[in-house]
Amino acid sequence: MFKGLTPITYNGREVWPLIEGGKGVAATNHASAGAWAAAGGVGTVSAVNADSYDPDGKIVPQIYRALTRRERHEELVEYAIDGAVEQVRRAWDIAGGRGAININVLWEMGGAQRVLHGVLERTRGLVAGVTCGAGMPYKLSEIAASYQVHYLPIVSSGRAFRALWKRAYSKAAEWLAGVVYEDPWLAGGHNGLSNAEDPLKPEDPYPRVKALRDTMREGGIPDTTPIIMAGGVWYLRDWDHWIDNPELGAIAFQYGTRPLLTRESPIPDGWKDKLLGIDHGDISLHRFSPTGFYSSAVRNPFLRFLEARSERQIAFSTQEAGDHVFQLDVGVKGKNFWVTRGDLLRAREWFGQGFTDALKTPDNTLVYVTPTEKTDIRKDQADCMGCLSQCSFSSWADTETNSTGRLADPRSFCIQKTLQDIAHGGDTDRNLMFAGHSASNFRRDPFYSNGFVPTVKQLVDRILTGD
């Protein structure tokens, strides 16, 4: 047992301070969450478009049959609630009364509040707590408390938590079970980098977590309420100076990337095989997500494809102005596109390479794509089912008008489509593949030598040794 690490009391039960990160769209399900809880930790079911099953136990494909986005959004909410309820019930059965089961939701997912109400209403007594990030989930505490369920907000700074605490959480303080600090430079998936922070200059998490603890103390939150470190957590021995540290108070650890490679992990074998080969620098912190957030993913051909698309981009003016005095004559219809001489020459070169269609972005720029790309982009935008509260790619918004009021952005992509595809066996080169920046440890850690894939129990036992 790693020195200093002791069980904590959570939801009236002793558990290891090891939390499974809740990875959205079927990357964390009942099998992994139930096994993590059975090993004595806190398993996390992703309630982000979770899978449902038919009477034969086969996954029900999430097919959208309605003609309008609003109607498809209603289908999506129904899928989300039914799937998450099924996953929680199965995870509970696997856990067998050990550990605890949390659910994870993204505040910026479409219908987040409705999904949360729907899941908690139908899983009373099974869910210990709700982790929630990707946005500022002010209503999280109110919703969780109404079902007598704990809540664990995910933040990336003390400043963000202070805003949440003052506006809402202080009114339901007794149900705050912990605060997840998700490091915006190290964690996989969507990250909470603010405009004041440089994505290329990672900051040491220790001072940021200490500042978070100081903020919690200001609010009268006891040091026994743990801060859960998320992002970059691999070997507990690397965090030895955090454990039993009076400056930080109680500390727990969340594992997101490492549990992807277990036998119970639901991700396809092709994804698992890719993880074993990831090297340092293969994870990219990028801003192509239609959420508008930065996110970390494997820099595979899919991500490089998006990078290349954005590089085929020029600014335009609708009238002659400054050095925009050359009329664009390729990829556009009409004569109201004025560009610089250099951009005119670049556009002609791209056109000659087969990128013959120019698509407008919300930033008065044009990106050049092939006719096939254009068709795919337009189809994905038309098929939108409102999986986000606001989507830059399709201009969907979960509002009365169902529109962000901005032009759809062809530099982004349909996140629902690609995450569903990769989670259910799709090509790992042609889809977004989330992973944290510690993923390169898979090829360096001797635990995984010769392609060894552990069970969740074996992984938790290994973590508890410090390795």
Alpha-carbon distance of 252 to 102, in angstroms, equals 15
Residue 196 DSSP label: T
Q: What is the 3-state secondary structure (H, E, C) of 338-380?
A: EECHHHHHHHHHHHHCCCCEEEECCCCEEEEECHHHHHHHHHH
Alpha-carbon distance of 427 to 408, in angstroms, equals 26
Q: In the chain, where are the structural domains located?
A: 8-267+439-464, 301-423
Q: Which percentage of the chain shows pLDDT scores above 90?
A: 92
What separation, in Å, do the N-terminal and C-terminal C-alpha atoms of the chain show?
A: 10
In one-letter notation, the amino acid at residue 34 is: G
Checking if the pLDDT of 140 tops 90, the result is yes
**Mean pLDDT, rounded, for 359-371:** 97
Alpha-carbon distance of 224 to 244, in angstroms, equals 11
Question: DSSP string covering 257-324, please?
Answer: SGGGSSSS--S-HHHHHHHTT--TT-EEEE--STTSSEEEEE--HHHHHHHHHHHSEEE-BSS-BTTB
Residue given tokens 């003016």 in the structure block: 317
pLDDT of residue 330: 95
Residue 233's H or E segment, with its range, is none
List pLDDT tens digits, range 251-262.
Answer: 999 999 999 999
List pLDDT tens digits, range 434-444.
Answer: 999 999 999 99
- Residue 52, SS3 per DSSP: coil
- Given a contact cutoff of 8 angstroms between Cβ atoms, the answer to whether 253 and 18 are in contact is yes
Residue 336 DSSP label: -
Residue 182's H or E segment, with its range, is strand 179-182
With b meaning 16 or more CB within 10 Å and e meaning fewer, what string describes 329-340? ebbbeeeebbbb
The token pair that represents 183 in the structure block: 């490091």
**Mean pLDDT, rounded, for 187-211:** 91
Among the ranges given (312-316, 334-338, 458-462), the one the predictor scored with the smallest mean pLDDT: 334-338
Checking if the pLDDT of 150 tops 80, the result is yes
The token pair that represents 257 in the structure block: 């990337």
Q: Show Cβ contacts of residue 139 under 8 Å, excluding neighbours closer than 6 positions.
A: 113, 168
Confidence of residue 134 (pLDDT cuts 50, 70, 90): confident
Please name the fold of domain 8-267+439-464.
Answer: TIM Barrel (3.20.20)
Sign of the C-alpha dihedral computed for residues 131, 113, 119 and 142 taken in this order: positive
Q: Which residue in 71, 55, 72 sits closest to 63, CA to CA?
A: 72
φ and ψ at 286, to 5 degrees? -130, 175
Alpha-carbon distance of 219 to 110, in angstroms, equals 31
Q: Which percentage of the chain shows pLDDT scores above 70?
A: 100
- Given a contact cutoff of 8 angstroms between Cβ atoms, the answer to whether 407 and 360 are in contact is yes
Mean pLDDT of the chain, nearest integer: 95
**Mean pLDDT, rounded, for 12-28:** 91
Spatial strand order of the sheet with 357-360 comes to: 313-315, 365-369, 357-360
Question: Measured between alpha carbons, how far is residue 368 from residues 204, 333, 410 in Å?
Answer: 39, 13, 10
**Mean pLDDT, rounded, for 41-47:** 96
**Mean pLDDT, rounded, for 235-244:** 95
Sign of the C-alpha dihedral computed for residues 2, 229, 158 and 145 taken in this order: negative
List pLDDT tens digits, range 1-16.
Answer: 677 799 999 999 999 9
Category of 248 on φ-ψ map: left (φ > 0), alpha (ψ -120 to 50) or beta: alpha
**Mean pLDDT, rounded, for 169-190:** 95
Alpha-carbon distance of 229 to 438, in angstroms, equals 14
List pLDDT tens digits, range 56-98.
Answer: 999 999 999 999 999 999 999 999 999 999 999 999 999 999 9
- Given a contact cutoff of 8 angstroms between Cβ atoms, the answer to whether 165 and 146 are in contact is no
Alpha-carbon distance of 249 to 227, in angstroms, equals 8
Checking if the pLDDT of 401 tops 90, the result is yes
